[in-house]
Structure 1
Amino acid sequence: MKLAFQIATRFLKSSKGQTILIALGIAIGVSVQIFIGSLIQGLQKSLVDTTIGNQPQITLTSNNEEKLIADYDEIVERISENEEEVINLSVAADGPALISKDDETYSILLRGFNIEDADKIFNIKESLVDGTLPENEGEVLIGVDLKEEAGISIGDEIELLANFGDTATVTVTGFFNLGVASLNKSWTITNLETAQNIFSYDDQVTSINMQLKDVFLADTVADSINERETSETLVVDNWKAQNEELLSGLNGQSVSSIMIQVFVMISVLLGIASILAITVVQKSKQIGILKAMGIKDKDSSLIFLFQGLLLGVLGAILGVALGLLLAFTFTKFALNPDGTPVVPLFIDPIFITFSAVIAVAASVIAALIPARTSSKLSPIEVIRNA
């Protein structure tokens, strides 16, 4: 085996141009695979982060007459104890209302949260552009779009009318920007107690919101919660059920990426096999002499298998470097108007390692045909025809 490896190395060194050509072919295939794969994964991650990154991935609501969840603390505790995938959990008390300012009324959705818990899901603190978070009862945050439309300032007291006619006076402590105009115009955020008191919810909430370690397990976790919670009034929903078109698009991207990568690797495999087959013909005289000197058919086959292995390793290393360079360059030239990358750079070490291993395996497989041809060479016929 050692002799076969040494001969394989010498063959590659004796045909440097051909060796470089094969290695470059493998490198280009690997780099295309890594570039396209990283691009698709980065695009998918960006889409998921944009659409559901700052939103609940599983939501529990009630379909009873009041649309309220009682004993929510017990439900939250059971979920925390039994669902390892759940990383963020927050309750909310929501309700539609009207606010009055300078004889004008504006329709809003008042959302009462435990701010610290809700911040892990909705990034409230990061979205705060001015003022402070509501800490005391009767304090609220409003969106920047509603602020501009209604001419509201920090410290203003505004009258809030609940949907069943009760009124309350609330004080604006700050403004938020969630990056979505409809939310900035309609949401008004307060603490849980304020919303419960304004809407007379007592110690009840309208929803329980969750985020997961792996967002694509939302349906599985939702089914698990649904099986454990026996209340007939509790409704468990997840983002995958609500975003079927998005999921279809993501699956389409994944399939397209895999198909491109498969065809690239097939072309690389055929290229290596054809060039190594030519090498068998070119080196047939040397192989015949080696066989006449006593080298076994198995060792002559190993020569070309080692060649395929060495070429695969060299091409994989070059391909990984080139693929990462292409991905990095793309994020520097393909930019949005605000200077951010159109598709963020996403490096998945597992995917990159897998691509490199596939390239090496493909190179070895491609070497099987010339290796088999080499083992069948007859030294007498080779020397006679030389």
Structure 2
Amino acid sequence: MKLPFKIALRFLKSSKGQTLLIALGIAIGVSVQIFIGSLIQGLQKSLVDTTIGNQPQISITATNEDKLIEGYDEILSSIRDKEDQVINLSVAADGPALINHEDDTFSILVRGFNIDESDALYNIKESVVEGTLPENDYEVLIGIDLKNESGIDIGDEIDVVANFGETHTFTVTGIFNLGVSSLNSSWTITTLPTTQDMFSFEDRVTSIDMQVTDVFAADAVAASISDRLSSDELLVDNWKDQNEDLLSGLNGQSVSSIMIQVFVMISVLLGIASILAITVVQKSKQIGILKAMGIRDKTSSLIFLFQGLLLGVAGAVLGVILGLLLAFAFTKFALNPDGTPVVPLFIDPMFIALSAFIAVIASVVAALIPARKSSRLDPIEVIRNA
């Protein structure tokens, strides 16, 4: 094994320009793979975080007549004990209502939370742009769009009419901005006991919300929870069933990314094979002499396989460096007006290692054709025609 390796290394050193060209071609292929893969993964992660990052990924609702969940404490305990992938478990009680303020009426959804538990789901605390969180009954946060539309401000007392006509007076303690216009104009956030009292829910809630460690496994986790609850009065829903268009788009991005990377590696593979095949012709005299001196066909084949391996390793290392530099440059030059990257790149060490490994394997595979050709060289014919 040492002899073909040394000969392969000598062949590469004797044609430094050609060697550099092949290694650079492999490096460009690897860097394109890493850049495109990181870009697509970053885009997908950004889309997922934006659309479902700060909202429930699995929700349990009631299908009974009053749409209320009884005994939710037992359900919460069961999920916490049995479902390891579930995180950020919370309950909510909400109902539609109207705000009467200065002769104007605004339609709202009163949402009651255990705010400390629900904050991990909705990022409520950081979304408060003015004032403070509600701590007592009948204190409320309103959205910034509702504030601008209605003129309601912190400290104001507002009359909220429940769907059965009963009026309750709330004190506004703060303004929130959840980053979604529809929520900022319709949601009001208060404590769980407030909504339970306001809508006469007693000790019942309208939904149990949760997130999971792997967002793309939400459907499997939801199915497991549904089987565990085995109740006809409870519906377990997940974000994947509710966002089929988004999921289709994410799958389309993944497929397109894979196709681009495959064709890039095919072009690299064909380039390596063609250049090494030319090398066989260029080095045919030396190979013929080596065969005449007694090296076997297998050894001559190994020379080109080692060449492919060495070129693959060199190109992969250089490609990883170029890919990471390209990704870093992209995050510095492609910026939003606020200075954040247009698409935040997601650097996955496993993906980078896999890209480099595939490049090395592709280089060795590309060397099979010239290796086979070299093994068939007849030393007598080569020396005679030299």
TM-score clears 0.5: yes
Give the deviation of 1:317 after TM superposition: 0.9
Give the deviation of 1:254 after TM superposition: 0.8
Query: 1:158 — aligned with what?
Result: 158
Give the deviation of 1:333 after TM superposition: 2.2
CA distance in 2, matches of 1:263, 1:345: 22
Give the deviation of 1:50 after TM superposition: 0.8
CA distance in 1, matches of 2:62, 2:177: 29
For residues 129-167 of structure 1, the C-alpha deviation after alignment (integer angstroms, 9 at most, x for no partner) is 111111111111111111112222222221111111122
Letter in 2 for 1:325: L
Query: 1:45 — aligned with what?
Result: 45
CA distance in 1, matches of 2:85, 2:106: 39
Query: 2:354 — aligned with what?
Result: 354
Query: 2:122 — aligned with what?
Result: 122
Task: Output aligned runs, 1:1-386, within 5 Å.
Answer: 1-386=1-386
SS in 2 for 1:210: strand
TM-score normalised according to structure 1 size? 0.98
CA distance in 2, matches of 1:363, 1:230: 54
Q: Which 4+ stretches in 1 moved above 6 angstroms?
A: none
For residues 81-127 of structure 1, the C-alpha deviation after alignment (integer angstroms, 9 at most, x for no partner) is 11111111110001001122223221110000010111001000111
For residues 320-374 of structure 1, the C-alpha deviation after alignment (integer angstroms, 9 at most, x for no partner) is 1111222222222222233222211211111111110000000000001111111
For residues 45-95 of structure 1, the C-alpha deviation after alignment (integer angstroms, 9 at most, x for no partner) is 111111111110111101111100000011111111111111111100010
Residues 43 and 344 of structure 2 are in contact (CA less than 8 Å); yes or no, is this contact kept in structure 1?
yes
SS in 2 for 1:91: strand
- Which ranges in structure 1 are unaligned for 5 or more consecutive residues? none
CA distance in 1, matches of 2:351, 2:191: 44
Give the deviation of 1:375 after TM superposition: 1.4
CA distance in 2, matches of 1:43, 1:356: 22
SS in 1 for 2:178: coil
Question: Which sits farther off after the overlay, 340-349 or 263-272?
Answer: 340-349
CA distance in 2, matches of 1:153, 1:241: 38
CA distance in 2, matches of 1:230, 1:307: 62
Residues 128 and 174 of structure 2 are in contact (CA less than 8 Å); yes or no, is this contact kept in structure 1?
yes
CA distance in 2, matches of 1:275, 1:258: 26
Question: Which sits farther off after the overlay, 40-49 or 148-157?
Answer: 148-157
RMSD value, Cα: 1.0
SS in 2 for 1:347: coil
Residues 108 and 188 of structure 2 are in contact (CA less than 8 Å); yes or no, is this contact kept in structure 1?
yes
Letter in 2 for 1:86: V
CA distance in 2, matches of 1:252, 1:316: 27
SS in 1 for 2:60: strand
CA distance in 1, matches of 2:87, 2:9: 53
Residues 41 and 345 of structure 2 are in contact (CA less than 8 Å); yes or no, is this contact kept in structure 1?
no
CA distance in 2, matches of 1:224, 1:159: 43
Letter in 1 for 2:195: A
Give the deviation of 1:226 after TM superposition: 1.1
For residues 264-302 of structure 1, the C-alpha deviation after alignment (integer angstroms, 9 at most, x for no partner) is 101100100010011011111111111222222221111
Letter in 2 for 1:197: D
CA distance in 2, matches of 1:318, 1:191: 57
- Which ranges in structure 2 are unaligned for 5 or more consecutive residues? none
TM-score normalised according to structure 2 size? 0.98
Letter in 2 for 1:199: F
Identity value in percent: 78
